[in-house]
Amino acid sequence: MTGPVVVVGDTLLDRDVEGMVSRLCPDSPVPVLDETGYVDRPGGAGLAAVFAAAQGAEVVLVTALADDAGGARLSSLLTAAGVQVYALPLAGATPKKIRLRAGGRVLLRHDRGGVPGEPGEPAEAVLRVIASASAVVVSDYGRGVARQPALRAALAATRAPVVWDPHPRGPGAVPGVQLATPNEAEARELIPALPGATRLATASRGAQGLRRRWRAGAVAVTLGGDGALLCHTDSTPLVVPTPSTAEGDTCGAGDRFAVAAGLALARGALVSEAVQEAVAEASAYVAAGGVAAALPPPASREPGTVTGPGAERIGVTEVAAVLAEVRARGGTVVATGGCFDLLHAGHVATLQAARKLGDCLIVCLNSDSSVAGLKGPDRPVVPQGDRGRLLAALSCVDAVMIFDEPTPHAALSWLRPDIWVKGGDYATGAGDAPALPEAEILRRWGGHTVVVPYLDGRSTTDMIAAARAGGRPAGTCCAAARSSEGDWAAAPVPAVERAR
């Protein structure tokens, strides 16, 4: 494979709520679930992308994320799984599927998210990554991403093999896909069965009908525990049985099938070989226990929150409100990030300059665990709650978002700021704006990075070291002490790394 595996489609937030059932509700004959914990995972196209990344592939996910806490959670989970997220804006709320489980069985599924909103336009970087793919897997969950016109044009034009996992509410595959993979129920809904027809005859009719309708190279109708039926010409269909019969949690089995087929095609396999490999992979996945066994459980905690006085502008919910207001009036979203341990004049100057570049400023703040991982076990000196309150108290800061990862990449994939501001060494020769990893991420949605100079002699690390040594940090007296924010504002124009 010479390019990334690109997964395109709707991403949902899946939550498995585990508990115990020992009694019935007194006012109705239904079991009462006593919750013992929960696990969040990406669902839909997000789950397909995580499956591909778990196989060691370089994976790009083209999806739509909402400006809410669910979108931020998905961005964090996907980035932690090694998936590069190219997110389109999504109107409305993050779709959620909540499964209530006890004793290894699902008692009830509760869906949230309502009517899907329309995803926004993809940036040029999204179209380029589809063109450069070694394989494309479209995981359509009927919520609009696969219907986006520019994406459909790019999918029709790519020379990579395309595997299309359709949905009855979706638009259908673009012409020329190498393989479409509906399940039995989807094929029957799209191509109704003839009265009295057998199961295999119905699957064959559906596969042939969809192959002609979509002008697809082949269609494989998955048959659950009985394998798949493949049609790639008008000749007799090929039935691919499962290596062994297995019962278990089938959630995600269709995504596992489509991803396995896509990876096989990327390696140069024939369609029949890819389907055989996909049947074996999906069967083994179900036999092993499904998604709970296939993926390590991610952390259940939500992004960092701060409560109490002074926390009114801290948290994902607060950030989402600012984003919605600014974007509704066509404004510019500016973001910056850092540890901000011992807030000093250099920090304030950078934040004030950043705020002047747009209509709001969002600060991405490293959590305590993130700072400790970057700076050492004796940092931070100031806990994240206090650091967040100090930043939120500045008039130039509109909201603060706390993240746990070493880098703000997951936060950026969700925020999608128009401008990302970096300060400090990058403006004095120790760094290069085009080499900033954030610059490449900003290109995914057409944003750009701006580098601003620090006030000389302001360093948290130096301040802490001097305080511990009983001295005074260099650069805080004499000429350096006479520097003012007015002097800083007259500094040279910041360097800009624009999206290409």
Active site residues: 255
- Spatial neighbors of 188 by CB under 8 A, at least 6 apart, are 202, 206
Distance CA 182, CA 186 (A): 6
Q: How would DSSP label each residue in 428-489?
A: TTS--GGG-HHHHHHHTTT-EEEEEPPPTT--HHHHHHHHHHTS--TTSSHHHHT--HHHHH
Half-sphere exposure of 355 (CA within 13 A, CB side): 15
Question: What's the sign of the alpha-carbon dihedral 270, 177, 41, 54?
Answer: positive
| 39: phi then psi, degrees, rounded to nearest 5 | -130, 130
Distance CA 259, CA 287 (A): 18
Distance CA 283, CA 463 (A): 59
According to DSSP, residue 370 is labeled: H
CB 94 within 8 A of CB 74: yes
Beta bridge pairs of residue 338: 365
- Spatial neighbors of 61 by CB under 8 A, at least 6 apart, are 6, 7, 8, 11, 45, 46, 49, 78, 83, 84, 85, 86
Instruction: Name which of 189, 157, 192 is nearest 175 in CA terms.
Output: 157
According to DSSP, residue 342 is labeled: S
CB 340 within 8 A of CB 351: no
β-pairing verdict for 135-139 and 5-9: parallel
Distance CA 201, CA 125 (A): 44
